[in-house]
């Protein structure tokens, strides 16, 4: 989406806010690429409900789902400018902007979703949330993004050799381009909203994502081979524009932070249910799932990615802290 179009959509959306949320004194506009009912959208709505309740209707949130405000890379910029108040995004598109976000986005860094929860709920998570404040943003909470695996329109991929020369879309993060390169395939970074037609027209062979996104985006309709290599467990993050946050009283800032934290357990429950539902739905639709795969060569191939990105002492420490978390 061009900047002008995005801005046009943002302006239109702000008009909508005035009519839809007139009962609230202040309504924060929050962006999400996913459709209504998706766990991230529902979680931010829950956060807004808590906020409204705890401020007697002074502060509310309206979620603009389905990328109404634009694709993630653009909406991140707009949130930094304070044009959008809040944003729920994968950590991936932050990788090129906030170095610390690269670590929890590294392939195979987490052993499981439980491990990811322990890390992101602890001091490492706090350190990464704090890193947003140097970039005109306030990190509020982490949400689940499941594990991401490759899918494609061409053939069942059962080993790393099958990936050779294939073309996959990745999120707009240099690290993910290098990740796909290290696996012997080619990566094209592009906005989420362009993936469906790019697979359909053969511009790319496939992409990689979790069950709920593979399902809700409809990508399974055009790329029916899903290989459970689970190379990434990338947390999602809820951020607020620093200018919006700075405009609040200290008391309201704490209410905002707490409402975001309190939406996390709700999100986790919705996420777990939705993962199972989406997996069942795409299997039912005829997707061929390749689950019997040896992940060891995938993990071993990631050495160069770690070498290239985990260079500073700060990032090395975060990697060590994550690995030491039981
Ligand atoms: C989904 C994330 C979303 C990303 C999308 C993508 O929830 O934030 O935009 O992947 O691949 O899983 O771009």
Fold of 147-233+278-324: D-Maltodextrin-Binding Protein; domain 2 (3.40.190)
Q: Is 213 in the pocket of ligand 1 (CB under 6 A)?
A: yes
Q: Is 33 in the pocket of ligand 1 (CB under 6 A)?
A: yes
Residue-wise pLDDT tens digits, 34-64: 999 999 999 999 999 999 999 999 999 999 9
| Structural domain boundaries in the chain | 2-89+112-143+235-270, 147-233+278-324
In sequence order, the β-bridge partners of residue 61 are 28
Nearest CA to ligand 1 atom 4: 90
Token output for 301:
């191939």
For residue 146, the ligand 1 atom closest to its alpha carbon is: 12
Interatomic CA distance for residues 137 and 87, integer angstroms = 10
Q: Is 89 in the pocket of ligand 1 (CB under 6 A)?
A: yes
Is-contact 131 98, C-beta < 8 A? yes
Interatomic CA distance for residues 209 and 151, integer angstroms = 8
Fold of 2-89+112-143+235-270: D-Maltodextrin-Binding Protein; domain 2 (3.40.190)
DSSP string, 122-139: SHHHHHHHHHGGGGTEEE
Q: What is the pTM of this model?
A: 0.93
Contacts of 264 (CB under 8 A, 6+ apart): 43, 141, 142, 143
For residue 40, the ligand 1 atom closest to its alpha carbon is: 7
What is the reported pLDDT for 9?
52
Residue-wise pLDDT tens digits, 102-117: 999 999 999 999 999 9
3-state secondary structure of 301: coil
Q: Is 215 in the pocket of ligand 1 (CB under 6 A)?
A: no
What is the reported pLDDT for 183?
98
Among 182, 188, 218, which residue's Cα sits nearest to residue 205? Answer: 188
Is-contact 259 62, C-beta < 8 A? no
Counting as low any pLDDT under 50, the low residues of the chain are: 1-8, 11, 15-21
Q: Is 149 in the pocket of ligand 1 (CB under 6 A)?
A: no
Nearest CA to ligand 1 atom 2: 90
Interatomic CA distance for residues 155 and 199, integer angstroms = 13
DSSP string, 144-197: ----EEEEESS----SGGGGTT-EEEE-S-HHHHHHHHHTTSEEEE--GGGHHH
3-state secondary structure of 224: coil
Does the fold of domain 147-233+278-324 match that of domain 2-89+112-143+235-270? yes
CA of 122 to the centre of ligand 1 (A): 24
Q: Is 171 in the pocket of ligand 1 (CB under 6 A)?
A: yes
């Amino acid at each position: 989406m061009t900047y002008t179009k995005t801005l046009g959509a943002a302006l239109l959306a702000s008009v909508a806010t005035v009519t839809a949320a007139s009962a609230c004194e202040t309504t924060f506009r929050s962006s999400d690429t996913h459709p209504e009912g998706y766990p991230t959208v529902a979680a931010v709505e829950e956060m807004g409900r808590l906020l409204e309740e705890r401020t007697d209707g002074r502060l509310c949130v309206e979620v603009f789902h389905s990328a109404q405000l634009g694709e993630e890379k653009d909406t991140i910029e707009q949130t930094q400018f304070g044009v959008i108040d809040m944003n729920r995004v994968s950590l991936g598109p932050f990788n090129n902007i906030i170095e610390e976000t690269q670590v929890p986005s590294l392939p195979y860094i987490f052993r499981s979703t439980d491990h990811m929860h322990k890390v992101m709920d602890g001091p490492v998570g706090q350190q990464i949330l704090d890193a947003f404040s140097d970039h005109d943003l306030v990190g509020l909470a982490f949400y689940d993004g499941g594990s991401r695996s490759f899918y494609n329109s061409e053939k069942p991929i059962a080993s790393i050799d099958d990936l050779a020369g294939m073309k996959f879309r990745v999120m707009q993060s240099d690290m993910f381009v290098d990740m796909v390169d290290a696996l012997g395939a080619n990566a094209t970074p592009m906005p989420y909203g362009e993936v469906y037609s790019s697979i359909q027209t053969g511009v790319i062979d496939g992409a990689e994502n979790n069950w709920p996104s593979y399902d809700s985006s409809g990508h399974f309709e055009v790329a029916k081979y899903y290989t459970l290599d689970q190379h990434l467990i990338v947390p999602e993050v809820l951020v607020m524009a620093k200018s919006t946050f700075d405009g609040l009283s200290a008391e309201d800032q704490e209410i905002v932070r707490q409402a975001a934290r309190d939406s996390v357990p709700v999100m986790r429950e919705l996420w777990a249910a939705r993962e199972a539902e989406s997996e069942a739905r795409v299997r039912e639709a005829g997707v061929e799932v390749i689950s019997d795969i040896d992940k060891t060569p995938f993990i071993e191939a990631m050495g160069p990615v770690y070498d290239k990105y985990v260079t500073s002492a700060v990032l090395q420490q975060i990697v060590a802290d994550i690995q030491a978390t039981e």
